[in-house]
Amino acid sequence: MIESPKPFRKVDRLTAFFDAFELEVSLDPTPMRYGRARLFVIGEAGGPVEAIVLQPRSDSVPEPSALMTAAVDFEGAHNPLMNALPDQVLIGINDIPALRDITAAFMAEALESRCGRSAALNRLGEVIVLLILRSAIDRGATGPGLLAGLSHPSLHRALVAMHDAPARAWNSDDLAAAAGMSRSHFMALFRNVVGTTPQAYLTGWRLILARRKLAKGAKVKAVARQVGFGSAAAFSRAFFRKFGDWPSVPS
């Protein structure tokens, strides 16, 4: 059966991550905390900015030609999008005009001690990270994973559906319809591109969200319901299988 393409409205592939995980960008002269990424503004001393580099893992090697280095905390240890990125994402400063302008504003704020400097750096840094993530998704990935799925012209719709409504009782037919495919084609393609089954990915996403809710003091039964598990017992078993301990509220 030949599937004819259907027109779909555009979906937002990033908002769910910005809603689920807190992003903080700052100039941090102290040693990088575990889980913090680095953002480098690259160029020659006294010359123009040439590129922006995001290194999503805190054990990465510093850039020797950096005019400025910022700490990026996007909950990398728990954020599947940050974990899906390559060790380095480099964007030429002229590749994205908005990035060039925002970076100029970021550097101006960093070099001056003005009122609200920290807040301004954080807001501008958030936009820089967002633009870099957009570019990374547009580029895609060479191997299976979340980044490859988000960059796929059809599969990303199923991923966004799961991200946006994790509590919904998604089945394979629903997700295939969201992607505009037959069920058999969708199931095979999803595993090939994302590297796991749709239900396994959905369960993992639900558990990641659940752990964040528990860390903020939510009750186990309420969290189980909010992320789409039929019972607290089923949720607890799945949580243990993924994280190796039982769900609990911090004391």
Model-wide pTM > 0.95: no
Per-residue confidence (pLDDT) for residue 47, from 0 to 100: 81
Once rounded to an integer, what is the mean pLDDT over residues 178-198?
A: 97
> Starting from the edge strand earliest in sequence, which strands make up the sheet with 66-73, in order?
24-26, 66-73, 37-43, 49-55, 89-92
Q: Per-residue confidence at 218, pLDDT binned at 50, 70, 90?
A: very high
Per-residue confidence (pLDDT) for residue 122, from 0 to 100: 94
Once rounded to an integer, what is the mean pLDDT over residues 165-184?
A: 97
Cβ atoms of 164 and 60 closer than 8 Å: no
Per-residue confidence (pLDDT) for residue 6, from 0 to 100: 54
Once rounded to an integer, what is the mean pLDDT over residues 191-195?
A: 98
Under the phi-then-psi rule, with left for phi > 0, alpha for psi from -120 to 50, and beta for the rest, what region is 65?
alpha
CA dihedral 203, 206, 207, 211 (to 10 degrees): 180
As a whole number of angstroms, the distance between CA 204 and CA 112 comes to: 43
Cβ atoms of 105 and 8 closer than 8 Å: no
Cβ atoms of 26 and 121 closer than 8 Å: yes
Query: Nearest CA to 67 among 96, 98, 99, 39?
Result: 39
Residue ranges of alpha helices (H) inside 140-197 are 146-151, 155-164, 172-179, 183-194
As a whole number of angstroms, the distance between CA 201 and CA 198 comes to: 5
- Over the chain, what is the mean pLDDT? 90
